Chains A and B, each alone.
Chain A
Amino acid sequence: MGKYVWTAAGGVLILSLLAGAVWMVQAEEPYAPDQPIAFDHKLHVTDYNIQCFYCHTYVDRSPFAGVPSVERCMGCHLIVARDSPEIEKLRNYQQNGEPVPWIKVYALPRFVHFNHEAHLRAEVQCSDCHGAVESMTKVTRVHDLQMGWCVDCHRSEEASVDCLTCHY
């Protein structure tokens, strides 16, 4: 009887290792989802020198950095690059009264309370977590936001590592 158990166990083990391997392969490939509009950070930040805060306006006063409203995008694009097919999409969203359904590149579970404002105050740079967004044509995740990674930084910066700092 024991033999069958071990065969079953072996089978499950191999399957899970395979699953794990598939996942790890996936995880090794940086996460860079296709967005509804191919927004180019490099073009906006590096080429046209628009600061992060101009669009992510809430970052220094709220837990959320915020994404620009469709109106804000159109503020420039009423005039700028009107003929681009991507701007055509943006215009359609505005005309239909729909927000742009951006795909989150960085997502935290609901039981984590991260605060952008507090990190900015502690002089953490945007790039410390988000990488060199200014050189990305398509935003790619550079850190997986696992807790260990957060805690490493909190330790080295002597910030609080108490659970209740983020989990409540």
Chain B
Amino acid sequence: MIKRRDFLKVMGVSGSAALLDACAPSQTEQLIPYLVSPDNIVPGVATYYTTQCRECPAGCGMLAKTREGRVIKAEGNPNHPVGKGRLCIRGQASVQSLYNPDRFRGPLLRDEGGQLRPTDWEQAEELLTSRLGQIKASGDQQRVAWMGRLLTGSMEQLTRRWLQSLGSERLLFYETFHYEPLRRATQIAFDRSELPSYHLQEARFLISFGADFLETWRSNVELMGDFQRMRRARSTERPDNFVHISQRLSLTASNADWWVPISPGAEVPLALAIIHSILEQGLAVPEVESERGWIESLVEPFSPEATQNDTGVEVSSVQELARRFSQASPSLALGGGVSCAGEQAVSLELAVLLLNAVAGNLGKTLTFGIPSALDQLATYQEILDLIQDMNQDKIEVLFLHESNPVFTLPQSCGFAEALEKVPLVVSFSRLPDETTARAHLILPDHHFLESWGDFSPRAGVVSIQQPAMQPVFDSKATGDVLLSVAQKIDGMASEFEHSNYFDWLHAYWDSSIRAQVAAEQSWEEFWPDVLKQGGYFQEVEPVTVSLRDFSTQIRLQPERLEGPEDGHALLVYPSAAFFDGRNANNSWLQEIPDPVTQLVWDGWVEVHPESGREMGLQEGDVVTVTSPHGSVTLPVHLFAGLKAGVVAMALGQGRSGDLRYASGRGDNPMRLLSPGAEPQSGSVLWRSVRVDLAKTGERHQLVSLQARPQDHPRDSLISQKVQDTPFAERIFPSQLSDAASGAEQDTASSHHEPIDFYPPHEHPDHQWGMAIDLDACTGCNACVAACYAENNIPIVGKDRCAQGREMSWLRIERHLHVPPVSQETGLVQPQVTSVPALCQHCHNAPCEPVCPVFATYHNPEGLNAQVYVRCVGTRYCSNNCPYKVRRFNWSASEFPEPLELQLNPDVTVRTAGVMEKCTFCVQRIQAGKNRARREERELGDGDITPACAQTCPAEAILFGDLADPNSRLSQIVENPRGYHLLESLNTRPAITYLKKLVPEKPFDEK
């Protein structure tokens, strides 16, 4: 038997021997020079390229940060009018779609046996050339069709002319989430077939009918910024100025002051009842006086009393809503989104436009004359026509560009079956998907960070897309493929002046943009400025519109749903992270929890707890959801943020194929939808079926990163009754000088006097700190994705998430409480507070004294430092941290090739057995100091911005120096709204949270 003491002695000696060996210097590291030094790369120094995000059609401006020729981070372009320097979670994660390990390595051709085999570009283009050459020579018309993502500018021009040369006019821009009902409604009401522009920041009162503008609707980054500007300007008298009307408590609804959980189909009666009440109270603006006759007769049957049963909203609430909406001047009503696009989709949009008209919002918060790129989208009806032609063998070659219609169209429409009839299906997708699985030829396009391009999300904004790096794989820009093929086809080459897309783009910008907007400038003056700014931007003057009598065109019959009478209405909603499923194979987006449910790595069907009880369903029960058109099998998630009788599913999961992060998770709700198109606008009937739920008897573990699905109400800790708060204190970060004026109302009277046994730490130069405005934070998770990207945070997968071993340094603590619908008003006040939780960099950090090896300590600049090489992994610090923000590497992190190219070289990749946590982006602090010293100046306020604060679309995070009494931060932390997490523990965090403001009075109380 070896005694313990002896064992330790032996181990001590051999341990030091091992240590000696480890210290022997490695002698074989190489130092590789460039063959030819590139002009624009200084090794070790980041180069930024202006470009644009193409993850969704919003088209936010982007800066791609590159190091040594590879993109390592995406940030918003502050010069760009769309996004104004911010990105959403999907934009932040776009670097992972660039380095996605499942991307096609090169072109593929389906062989006789039906297997996709790698080929080379020459052979692939040869095949295309011979096929198209035959079509061109035969002179047959309309044998070729193109269905792809939204294009504008040079690429649209090229594609259109290329197809025309092949005798086809069929260029269908297809996006899963389209706005056809709205465009049809503006056509009917104002004779303008275009989407309106919104000016949320001007609005004093906002009603949204199902428009989830904080996550996926239209241009979510831009709208979130505008929304926060609107919220910060709200009045003290009556601060609750945002009402959301929908079936599901989406992220947007959870940020509303009041939520109306409404029955499917009751939106139109409610909108008309509000108009009825506005007219009744004599609050309509004089501009609509001439139209009053038809409006009155239209809304006459929809008095608040008559609609009360359908809408569930009490008469007094409708009257109050009408009063406040029309008196706020200007106010704004938004309508649409897939969640309320049923048979009445166009009617709802018409009612909402009319609501804006009678409240006098036209030309103020709602303007026309600035067309959106989305106006160019093909309708679903046009796609149904294409399917018909495919089935009738009229289409010989079908091109599919960056879209996955087999997955994103209602499965019952038969697109997949029709594809079988097309002799040659060519896909330009970068990733294997349900559509490439049926394609004959795959010509993978570059990622937008690898290629030239341009996109104009709306009139007056033309963004340039610059390649920020060499292509990762053997892909080829689709524009180059088109031109290269055109060169080889008889009679086609002469129609195209350029043989490569870059020249085409140049020529387009020279002739169609510079010559139009800056004719006085030479190309050499104009072009560098475009590249520097990220595009060409100009103000476009809106036009005035006049309302037309549409009373004969608005459909007022109640909405019908197909399926069993006793079934549940099905709600399909866009996923905040995966959009329509295109981002599902992105590991960060799978691991960052869904903002509302907090579930990770899964698909589920949401059922109201009451319905669940009636059906005997529990969390995690696997059910078969059956509609008249198909069925899916999914686990149940009980979610109180639903209208009873409705079940909800996100689109995005349920990807098939061999995708390492996405495959085998959840199911695709598009299997359930009806194939028909809405007759007025030709759009998809997103809300069209009722479904049956049948238990399969199986169980499935759903992993939530929040301990409880619903929290108990907790008002005193994280929110503040808004009436207690003087106006100036709610302005953040502007108007700071007034911020401290209301000190006597300080809820900070509950602040504890600092008590310490030891003298306080000294911070001679800087004391870094942060303020987070919980009133602004929407819980969108953009900061979390930015943190993953900046700090080389590994993902751990579902199983380890279930063990609580996720590695995120920054998470959103979502406190959600959905009270029952108020009997007096019919409204719900959702109590949702999103608290970004990260290392608090405490002055009295509980983690520090328990570290046996001094790996964590308080540094002279107020940071709670973590030295990875010192850490021996006792995890005492994590056990002693009251905020659960320290993460332990239970295993070595894996970055499957080529994801390792994304790693930030300024941040150490941690090894197994080491503790890690938020550093306040210390690498950015060091870089900021270095930059100031290089420029021979003092470090200024705002020189350093951590990744989370940089991207926050709501501008809720402010970083700064507490040692500088004049910094914006020092003034903010004096705000009486400020508090610290778990203040009673005397940890004295460096992060100050500003309480969320919640309305105190019931909605209908004046």
B34 interface residue per 8 A CB criterion: yes
With A16-B17, A31-B25 in contact, is A117–B30 under 8 Å at CB?
Answer: no
From B3, which residue of chain A is reached at the shortest CB distance?
Answer: A2
Q: Check if B934 sits within 8 Å of A117, measured CB to CB.
A: yes
A162 interface residue per 8 A CB criterion: yes
Listed stretches A61-69, A126-134, A150-158; interface member: A61-69
Chain B residues with CB below 8 A from A5, complex form: 2-3, 6, 10
A115 interface residue per 8 A CB criterion: yes
Q: Check if B37 sits within 8 Å of A72, measured CB to CB.
A: yes
> In angstroms, how far is the closest chain B Cβ from the Cβ of A62?
4
Chain B residues with CB below 8 A from A43, complex form: none
> In angstroms, how far is the closest chain B Cβ from the Cβ of A157?
15
Q: Check if B27 sits within 8 Å of A58, measured CB to CB.
A: no
Q: Check if B922 sits within 8 Å of A70, measured CB to CB.
A: no
Chain A residues with CB below 8 A from B859, complex form: 162-164
> In angstroms, how far is the closest chain A Cβ from the Cβ of B33?
4
Chain A residues with CB below 8 A from B16, complex form: 16
Chain A residues with CB below 8 A from B6, complex form: 2, 5-6, 9
From B6, which residue of chain A is reached at the shortest CB distance?
Answer: A5
Chain A residues with CB below 8 A from B24, complex form: 23, 26-27
With A26-B24, A113-B906, A168-B907 in contact, is A104–B17 under 8 Å at CB?
Answer: no
Q: Check if A110 sits within 8 Å of B10, measured CB to CB.
A: no
* 0 or 1 for each of B1-42: is its CB under 8 Å from A? (1 = yes): 111001001100110110011011111111111111100001
Tell me the complex Cα distance, A58–B860, Å: 31
B334 interface residue per 8 A CB criterion: no
B863 interface residue per 8 A CB criterion: yes
Q: Check if A1 sits within 8 Å of B2, measured CB to CB.
A: yes
Q: Check if B44 sits within 8 Å of A104, measured CB to CB.
A: no
B43 interface residue per 8 A CB criterion: yes
B933 interface residue per 8 A CB criterion: yes
From A62, which residue of chain B is reached at the shortest CB distance?
Answer: B44
Q: Check if A69 sits within 8 Å of B36, measured CB to CB.
A: yes
With A62-B42, A115-B930, A168-B922 in contact, is A163–B33 under 8 Å at CB?
Answer: no
Tell me the complex Cα distance, A70–B1, Å: 64
Q: Check if A162 sits within 8 Å of B33, measured CB to CB.
A: no
Q: Check if B868 sits within 8 Å of A9, measured CB to CB.
A: no
* 0 or 1 for each of B893-927: is its CB under 8 Å from A? (1 = yes): 00000000000001111000000000100110010
A8 interface residue per 8 A CB criterion: yes
The number of chain A residues touching the other chain, given as a range, is 35 or more
CB contact list, A1-52 vs B, under 8 A: 1-2, 5-6, 8-9, 12-13, 15-16, 19-20, 23, 26-27, 31, 33
A107 interface residue per 8 A CB criterion: yes
B615 interface residue per 8 A CB criterion: no
Q: Check if B30 sits within 8 Å of A101, measured CB to CB.
A: yes
A135 interface residue per 8 A CB criterion: no
> In angstroms, how far is the closest chain A Cβ from the Cβ of B157?
38
Q: Check if B27 sits within 8 Å of A168, measured CB to CB.
A: no
B869 interface residue per 8 A CB criterion: yes
Chain A residues with CB below 8 A from B14, complex form: 12, 16
> In angstroms, how far is the closest chain B Cβ from the Cβ of A55?
10
B45 interface residue per 8 A CB criterion: yes
B145 interface residue per 8 A CB criterion: no
Q: Check if B31 sits within 8 Å of A164, measured CB to CB.
A: no
Checking A61, A70, A104 against B33 with a beta-carbon cut-off of 8 angstroms, the contacting residue is A70
B865 interface residue per 8 A CB criterion: yes
CB contact list, A61-115 vs B, under 8 A: 61-64, 66-72, 94, 97-104, 107, 109-111, 113, 115
8 new A-B contacts, CB < 8 A, other than A69-B35, A98-B35, are: A9-B9, A9-B10, A58-B44, A71-B37, A100-B32, A103-B28, A164-B861, A164-B865
Chain B residues close to A by CB (< 8 Å): 1-3, 6, 9-10, 13-14, 16-17, 20-21, 23-37, 42-45, 857, 859-861, 863, 865, 867-870, 906-909, 919, 922-923, 926, 930, 933-934
Q: Which 4 A-B pairs have the closest CB atoms?
A: A16-B17, A62-B44, A63-B44, A69-B34
Jot down 29 A-B pairs with beta carbons below 8 A, ordered by A. A5-B2, A9-B9, A16-B17, A20-B17, A23-B20, A58-B43, A61-B42, A64-B44, A69-B35, A69-B36, A70-B33, A70-B36, A72-B37, A97-B35, A98-B35, A99-B32, A111-B869, A113-B926, A121-B933, A160-B860, A162-B859, A163-B859, A163-B865, A163-B867, A164-B863, A167-B867, A168-B906, A168-B908, A168-B926
